[in-house]
């Protein structure tokens, strides 16, 4: 122990001053993030909530504070149909993406060398270099009635199978958007699992499958849940896949926003839908993060 450290321990006021300087230093570095969140999330969200109480008369928006837009939208059956469809499709995409990504992430984390893992992550990042819309257009060619898959099926006198403008097409688009990100997040999480704990489980007679579910998955729980949350958020708010691969019928909430704004400039009603989507995502995100970091009893 140095004389300076001993002096701080002996002088509580000096220790308190040091903690204060450390807290101030941390606060200074947090300010840019807080300002960014305030300007580009809190302020737009507050304006969106305020806009949802405006009125539309003679195709013109009038500032006011009336809950009629909320009452009308929440009383419409098509709104709840779109809400349940959007939530269900995002949940299915999350489960499928997480289940398909786990074997890939497991292999990259435990079965290959560090060099191979780095190259694999690099190739998983490459799809984000191209436009998501371009990738969806490519899937239109693949999934169309006269597309690549049905062409291969025709060689076996099978098909054609309707894949484009269906919920299956929407799901393919969601996986195109989310799958690489989920694999990357799961890989980072699994790669940080302590190998000593895995060896200890094997030494105690734990088989491979049991080790995965009783040791590896609990230790990588945070990364697995975060990957699933990102998948749900991206799928829940996606507009491109339901429109170009799902045919926009029945509509999801994102498509409902577009349809609402086109019908008589009903921006306040569209704001109701948008606020509902954001509120849902916040609830899901906070619940998932809470579950990820909850300590076992």
Q: Could you report the per-residue pLDDT of 200-209, keeping only the tens digit for each?
A: 988 888 888 9
Beta-bridge partners for 56: 61
| Whether the Cβ atoms of residue 214 and residue 201 lie closer than 8 Å to each other | yes
* Mean of the per-residue pLDDT values of the chain: 88
Q: How far apart are CA 122 and CA 104, in angstroms?
A: 14
Provide the pLDDT for residue 8: 47
pLDDT at 11 over 60: no
Give the CA-trace dihedral at 213, 217, 219, 221, to 10 degrees. -140
Interacting residues of 182 by C-beta distance below 8 A, sequence separation 6+: 97, 98, 101, 227, 228, 230, 231
pLDDT tens readout for residues 148-172: 898 888 888 887 888 999 999 999 9
pLDDT at 37 over 70: yes
Q: How far apart are CA 198 and CA 228, in angstroms?
A: 24
pLDDT tens readout for residues 262-296: 877 789 999 999 999 999 999 999 999 998 888 76
Give residue 36's pLDDT band: very low, low, confident or very high (50, 70, 90): confident
Q: How far apart are CA 41 and CA 35, in angstroms?
A: 10
pTM: 0.87
**SS3 of residue 75 by DSSP:** coil
Interacting residues of 25 by C-beta distance below 8 A, sequence separation 6+: none
Provide the pLDDT for residue 297: 65
pLDDT tens readout for residues 63-79: 888 889 999 999 999 99
| Whether the Cβ atoms of residue 82 and residue 252 lie closer than 8 Å to each other | yes
Provide the pLDDT for residue 23: 67
Chain centroid to CA 231: 3
| Whether the Cβ atoms of residue 86 and residue 252 lie closer than 8 Å to each other | yes
pLDDT tens readout for residues 170-216: 999 999 999 999 999 999 999 999 989 989 988 888 888 999 999 99
| Whether the Cβ atoms of residue 107 and residue 212 lie closer than 8 Å to each other | no
Provide the pLDDT for residue 242: 95
Residue 295 CB coordination number (10 Å): 4
Provide the pLDDT for residue 66: 85
Provide φ and ψ at 202, rounded to 5°.
-65, -40
Q: In the chain, what are the domains?
A: 1-51 (no CATH), 67-293 (1.10.3720.10)
Give residue 18's pLDDT band: very low, low, confident or very high (50, 70, 90): low
H or E, element range at 56: strand 55-57
Provide the pLDDT for residue 7: 47
């Amino acid at each position: 122990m140095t004389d300076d450290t001993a002096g701080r321990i002996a002088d509580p006021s000096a220790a308190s001053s040091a903690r204060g300087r450390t807290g101030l230093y941390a606060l200074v570095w947090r300010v840019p993030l807080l300002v960014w969140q305030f300007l580009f999330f809190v302020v737009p969200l507050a304006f969106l909530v305020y806009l949802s109480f405006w009125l539309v008369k003679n195709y013109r928006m009038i500032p006011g504070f009336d809950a009629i837009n909320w009452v009308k939208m929440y009383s419409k059956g098509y709104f709840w149909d779109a809400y349940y469809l959007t939530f269900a499709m995002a949940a299915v995409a999350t489960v499928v993406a997480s289940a398909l990504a786990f074997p890939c992430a497991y292999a990259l984390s435990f079965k290959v060398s560090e060099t191979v893992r780095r190259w694999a992550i690099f190739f998983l990042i490459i799809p984000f270099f191209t436009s998501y819309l371009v990738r969806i257009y490519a899937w239109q060619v693949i999934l169309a009635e006269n597309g690549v898959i049905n062409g291969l099926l025709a060689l076996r006198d099978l098909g054609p199978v309707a894949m484009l403008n269906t919920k299956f097409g929407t799901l393919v688009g969601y996986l195109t958007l989310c799958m690489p990100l989920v694999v990357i997040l799961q890989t980072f999480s699994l790669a940080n699992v302590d190998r000593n704990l895995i060896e200890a489980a094997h030494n105690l007679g734990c088989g491979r499958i049991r080790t995965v579910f009783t040791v590896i998955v609990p230790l990588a729980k945070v990364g697995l849940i975060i990957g699933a949350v990102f998948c749900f958020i991206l799928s829940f708010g996606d507009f491109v896949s339901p429109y170009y691969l799902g045919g926009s019928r029945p509509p999801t909430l994102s498509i409902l926003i577009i349809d609402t704004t086109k019908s008589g400039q009903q921006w306040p009603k569209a704001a109701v839908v948008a606020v509902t989507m954001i509120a849902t995502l916040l609830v899901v995100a906070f619940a998932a993060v809470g579950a990820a970091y909850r300590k076992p009893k």
